[in-house]
Amino acid sequence: MRLETDRLIVRTFRPDDWQDLKVYISRPEVMWYEGEWESSDDACRRRAQAFADSGAFWAVELKQTGRMIGHVYFGQTQPEAFRTWMLGYIFNNEYHGYGYATEACREVLNDGFRRLGIHRVCAKCALQNKPSWRLMERLGMRREGLSPKAATFRQTEKGQPIWWDELTYGVLEEEWPVQADSASKRTSRP
Ligand SMILES: CC(C)(COP(=O)(O)OP(=O)(O)OC[C@H]1O[C@@H](n2cnc3c(N)ncnc32)[C@H](O)[C@@H]1OP(=O)(O)O)[C@@H](O)C(=O)NCCC(=O)NCCS
């Protein structure tokens, strides 16, 4: 699959994206709310292959340079009958603050609502992860609730889990304003 926006190509993740992936998943400041991911060359190759195989990961490429600057996760949750998809994203911090993540996620949601018969899209993040929940709000997602101490990706020096309060955001099919002009930019490739 391949989607296009003014500044971005948003396409199915490929195994050869591993080097661009490695750049940002090896940065603790990017991965603070994700937990540590192994970032050796081998681990990144394996992860890129797994992302590509899953079909749920979109690579975001800057048109101007061809560089892969981040990825979007968009996968169906269980049970299937709920027709609910989960959204996630990690972007290289050299490219934060330009609206690229919002632009990419909006296009992935447009495509999903148009093509997949989605009823609801949800996303979760730590309450402290303001850039993440601001992105969801820019997309027009609704804050649905706060689950106290629901997630942990970090430990204290003594090995005790550090619990984070977790926000859930959501948007329903009838609430999503699919952008009319983006349909013309979509091209599907098997
Ligand atoms: C979450 C994350 C993707 C958000 O990135 P981001 O750069 O803040 O989001 P966007 O790309 O949409 O950019 C929005 C910012 O660019 C600014 N901007 C500049 N030009 C813009 C444009 N043309 N269009 C829209 N926004 C623009 C916006 O004002 C906004 O800045 P602000 O937050 O200071 O107001 C990023 O922080 C990240 O990758 N974090 C690490 C991984 C992570 O925590 N993932 C989430 C786990 S739940």
Element at 49 (helix H, strand E): helix 41-54
Q: How far is the CA of 119 from the centre of ligand 1 (A)?
A: 26
Q: How far is the CA of 158 from the centre of ligand 1 (A)?
A: 33
Write down the pLDDT at residue 153: 87
Q: How far is the CA of 79 from the centre of ligand 1 (A)?
A: 31
To the question of pTM greater than 0.85 for the whole model, the response is yes
Does residue 163 belong to any structural domain of this protein? yes
Q: How far is the CA of 173 from the centre of ligand 1 (A)?
A: 24
Write down the pLDDT at residue 185: 46
pLDDT in tens, the chain (190 residues): 999 999 999 999 999 999 999 999 999 999 999 988 999 999 999 999 999 999 999 999 999 999 999 999 999 999 999 999 999 999 999 999 999 999 999 999 999 999 999 999 999 999 999 999 999 999 999 999 999 999 998 889 999 999 999 999 999 999 998 543 444 344 443 3
Write down the pLDDT at residue 190: 36
Pairwise CA distance, residues 136 & 102, whole Å = 8
Which residues form the pocket of ligand 1, taking CB atoms under 6 Å from any ligand atom? Answer: 30, 33-34, 89-91, 96-102, 125, 129, 131-132, 134-135
Number of the ligand 1 atom closest to the C-alpha atom of 32: 44
Write down the pLDDT at residue 181: 42
Containing structural domain, residue 73: 2-184
Does residue 190 belong to any structural domain of this protein? no
Write down the pLDDT at residue 188: 42
Number of domains in the chain: 1
Number of the ligand 1 atom closest to the C-alpha atom of 123: 48
Does residue 64 belong to any structural domain of this protein? yes
Supply the CATH number for residue 176's domain.
3.40.630.30
Does residue 113 belong to any structural domain of this protein? yes
User: Length of the chain, please?
Assistant: 190
Write down the pLDDT at residue 182: 46
Does residue 189 belong to any structural domain of this protein? no
Does residue 83 belong to any structural domain of this protein? yes
List the one residue out of 179, 155, 37 whose CA is nearest residue 103: 179
What Cα–Cα distance (Å) separates residue 138 from each residue in 71, 131, 149, 169, 181? Answer: 18, 10, 25, 12, 19
Residue type, 97: G
Classify each residue of 25-47 as buried b or exposed e, where b means 16 or more C-beta atoms within 10 Å of its C-beta.
bbeeebbebeeeeebeeeebbeb
Does residue 14 belong to any structural domain of this protein? yes
**Beta-carbon count within 10 A of 166 CB:** 18
